[in-house]
Structure 1
Amino acid sequence: MENKAPSLKVEGLSTFYGEVPAIMDVSMEIRRGEVVTMVGANGAGKSTVIKSVSGILKPNAGRVKLFGEDVTGYNADALVKRGLSVVPEGRRLFSEMTLKENLELGAYTRSDRSGVRRDMERVLSLFPELKPRLTTLAGKFSGGQQQMVAVARALMSNPRVLLLDEPTIGLAPVIVDRISALLLEIANSGVDILVVEQNAEVALEIAHRAYVLEGGRVIAQGDAKTLAQSEQIQKAYLGI
């Protein structure tokens, strides 16, 4: 991967829950054309990084830059309008609304109706198994299908940077493989991706670069394939 200007750059980010630090001095970046992963055990602070970057939490210290613009502390709506979208942990679908209605909500910041219709067709082409079920309630889909709906909904904002929080958690291996392939397809379409995962094996396999989070701090970073071969990472996260 050639060196490119970062689409997302995080510098010295610290976020507290009350007096308790959840993440401390986290720095990371996503370069144009990359899939980046952040791996770590449950409670390492991975979700807090996502929430702090995406405007759900306000960091106590540090900076977030999106395409060179300082967006530290911006709310989620402002960041979506600037090209950043999130697939949250647990999917957070509107279960009593149809697939079509969930997708339309993903485009709530957009006023270009013709563009939204075009993007719905484009997004559904990535998920052919969902296309015939536009009128199905989101709560009627299987867990794997709901995860696909969550990704599709995030894509409806037409993002340039996509953050995913534990996208494979609780899914069967065959669905994990499907989600992984979809993320690579999305990346190849020009969307830069950060995947936060406990499933380090899957994450390191699809990523260009990786960060390892432990106790709220980045303890290792580098080429994903190289990290996957590290004895420390293999023992701690890959069960080898």
Structure 2
Amino acid sequence: MTIESPSILPLEVRGLSARYGVVPALRDVDLVLRSGEIVTLIGANGAGKSTLIKAICGLVRPTAGSVRLFGEEVTGLSPDRMVRKGLSVVPEGRRLFPEMTMLENMELGAFARHDAAAVKRDLDRVISLFPELKDRLGTHAGTFSGGQQQMIAVARALMSAPRVLLLDEPTIGLAPAVVDRIADIVTQIAHSGVNILLVEQNAETALAIADRAYILEGGAITAEDTAHALAASPDVQRAYLGI
């Protein structure tokens, strides 16, 4: 059994820049995710949060900088290779296959795995996180509510057995009670040993469950601290918490 050095970070982003055509989207972004953490990235719509997720997971090619996963240089690798290296994404908008069942959507999350017995064990474990849905595995995903579809999207991502999970706006458009449920699920996943980067416009919820936080404005990191400290900042309260 190989024991990882405690100095090796699950995710390390250094000097990352990206653009769409001639329009800069990210500017020299530094971000780290340490073992056992929930780190949140908050910012207004259009700040570059989703672009950062896409640049990390290989959907957008950076113009500068690097991404390291458990110490390994992975900048620009394709999304399917990133999944095989232990990184999974819950995309904004869920991106389920509506004509496929909940179970079929979840099974797609394990496309890169060949350990059938372990996949079956993980399927049972992941389903146990969503007791409200366990009796609807054969139901088409498109017939679920928005909050339920978000749960399925999270379940699908977990089926790849990720060590790092990126969540892009998982609570957007959801009712407050469902937001609380999603936050609870994210916390449970973190407690199971998955390292989490949570991208959110809902700063109140994100800061309540995160260990550390970054603020992204205009494609650049403008603040970094513990989630508690940023939640107590008057500037953050005015800009993101409506206080």
**Band the TM-score falls in, shorter-chain normalisation:** over 0.9
Distance in 1 separating the partners of 2:118 and 2:79: 21
> Unaligned regions of 5+ residues in structure 1, if any?
none
Query: Which residue in the other structure is 1:215 paired with?
Result: 218
Distance in 1 separating the partners of 2:40 and 2:105: 27
Distance in 1 separating the partners of 2:7 and 2:183: 24
> Unaligned regions of 5+ residues in structure 2, if any?
1-5
**Alpha-carbon distance, 1:115 to partner:** 1.0
Amino acid at match of 2:86: G
Distance in 2 separating the partners of 1:138 and 1:148: 11
TM-score normalised to structure 2 length: 0.97
Asked if structure 2 preserves the Cα contact closer than 8 Å seen for 1:4 and 1:32, the reply is: no
Query: Which residue in the other structure is 1:58 paired with?
Result: 61
TM-score normalised to structure 1 length: 0.98
Distance in 1 separating the partners of 2:137 and 2:7: 39
Distance in 2 separating the partners of 1:4 and 1:222: 20
Amino acid at match of 2:210: A
Pair 1:43-2:46 in alignment = yes
Amino acid at match of 1:78: R
2:202 to 192, 199, 202: 199
Task: Determine helix, strand or coil for the equivalent of 1:73.
Answer: coil
Query: Which residue in the other structure is 1:180 paired with?
Result: 183
Alignment of 1:17-166 (within 5 A): 17-166=20-169
Query: Which residue in the other structure is 1:238 paired with?
Result: 241
Q: Deviations over 1:89-111 (max 9, x none)?
A: 00000000001100010000111
Return structure 1 stretches of 4+ with deviation > 6 angstroms: none
Q: Deviations over 1:16-69 (max 9, x none)?
A: 000110010000010000000000000000000000001111111000000000
**Alpha-carbon distance, 1:130 to partner:** 1.2
Asked if structure 2 preserves the Cα contact closer than 8 Å seen for 1:210 and 1:221, the reply is: yes
**Alpha-carbon distance, 1:4 to partner:** 5.9
Query: Which residue in the other structure is 2:192 paired with?
Result: 189
Distance in 2 separating the partners of 1:16 and 1:56: 12
Task: Determine helix, strand or coil for the equivalent of 2:10.
Answer: strand
Asked if structure 2 preserves the Cα contact closer than 8 Å seen for 1:54 and 1:75, the reply is: yes
What is the Cα-based RMSD across aligned positions, in Å? 0.8
Query: Which residue in the other structure is 2:3 paired with?
Result: none
**Alpha-carbon distance, 1:167 to partner:** 0.2
Pair 1:9-2:12 in alignment = yes
**Alpha-carbon distance, 1:199 to partner:** 0.5
Amino acid at match of 1:139: G
Distance in 2 separating the partners of 1:89 and 1:4: 31
Asked if structure 2 preserves the Cα contact closer than 8 Å seen for 1:63 and 1:70, the reply is: yes
Task: Determine helix, strand or coil for the equivalent of 1:6.
Answer: coil
Pair 1:229-2:219 in alignment = no
Asked if structure 2 preserves the Cα contact closer than 8 Å seen for 1:4 and 1:31, the reply is: no
**Alpha-carbon distance, 1:129 to partner:** 1.1
Amino acid at match of 1:195: L
**Alpha-carbon distance, 1:5 to partner:** 3.9
